[in-house]
Amino acid sequence: MTDPKSPESLFQVRVYYEDTDAGGVVFYANYLKFLERARTEWLRDLGINQSGLAVSEQRLFVVKALDMAYRKPARLDDLLTIRSRVTRLGRASIHFAQRAERDGELLAEGNIQVCCVDAVQMRPAELPADLRAKLGSIQE
């Protein structure tokens, strides 16, 4: 569990066979799954339940944009640490900087823009006030 007052979240994920390609390294798209899990667990640690927001406030989160750079391969059984930071809060968006590391060594890094949308209209919607307050207090 991440300290709710920390500006950075740490999430660990183990690499399984299903995560690797024919060359025995993590398939590039699977890093996106790891980053998604890290963001979701961070919100959970902050007391934000995404499925609850979908029901109570009809708000969903979608990835609008991302930029990834792959530096070194991860392999089967590696234990990765995903580091996540909020770099910007918009009216309806959250910008994250995330890194995948193995024993402190950078393997991949990305910038992800997540947008809040109305669950019915699928149009941009203002971030819930509770979420904005919690993320705003730890933003860099």
Q: List helix spans (H) across 1-140.
A: 30-45, 50-56, 129-136
> Do the beta carbons of residue 59 and residue 116 sit within 8 Å?
yes
Residues with Cβ < 8 Å from 44, sequence gap 6 or more? none
Q: What does the block give as tokens for 123?
A: 């149009």
Which residues are marked as active site? 21
Phi and psi torsions of 42, nearest 5°: -65, -50
For residue 20, what are the β-bridge partners?
A: 26
Q: Determine the Cα–Cα distance for residues 91 and 124; give it in Å rounded to an integer.
A: 9
Query: In which residue are the tokens 């919690």 written?
Result: 134
Chain CA centroid to CA 59, Å: 17
